[in-house]
Amino acid sequence: MEALAAQVIGLVGGTFGKISVPGAVICLFGGTFGEISVPGAVICLFGGTIGGISVPGAGIWLVGGTIGEISVPGAGICLFGGTFGEISVPGAVIWLFGGTFGEISVPAVRLFG
């Protein structure tokens, strides 16, 4: 799924190599995703496996799931459980509610958890 702009997208299950949707509203329910690149988007993830998320300036809600890397400069993030390899979020606001984290790099960030 490439270069969709200003969309509202709901995906239930499935396998996706790359999702690139600048400015979209996305709800993902399960599934396997190689990379999600959605600058300025709003993303809701409920479970699933994701290789990497790159979402500068986005709002993200993650409930469970396994995510290899999250790179979200200037984003607002809520993480409810789940397993995360690396989180790099300069200038972001993060709320953490449980979960397992490999590394969190959050310069100039507000971290609640």
Task: Give pLDDT, residue 55.
Answer: 74
Q: What is the per-residue DSSP string for the chain?
A: -----S-EEEEES-EEEEEE-TT-EEEEES-EEEEEE-TT-EEEEES-EEEEEE-TT-EEEEES-EEEEEE-TT-EEEEES-EEEEEE-TT-EEEEES-EEEEEE-TT-EEE-
Instruction: Give the model confidence (pLDDT) of 50-93 as tens digits.
Output: 888 877 777 788 888 888 887 777 777 888 888 888 877 777 77
Task: Give pLDDT, residue 4.
Answer: 46
Nearest to 84 by CA among 58, 60, 107: 60
In the structure, what pLDDT confidence band is assigned to residue 25 with cuts at 50, 70 and 90? confident
Mean pLDDT, all residues of the chain: 77
As a whole number, mean pLDDT of residues 17-37 equals: 82
Residue 31 and residue 13 in contact, taking contact as beta carbons nearer than 8 Å: yes
Task: Give pLDDT, residue 109.
Answer: 56
Half-sphere exposure of 99 (CA within 13 A, CB side): 25
Task: Give pLDDT, residue 6.
Answer: 58
Residue 109 and residue 92 in contact, taking contact as beta carbons nearer than 8 Å: yes
Task: Give pLDDT, residue 13.
Answer: 82
Task: Give pLDDT, residue 77.
Answer: 80
**Domain locations in the chain?**
8-112
pTM: 0.69
Nearest to 85 by CA among 105, 68, 106, 62: 68
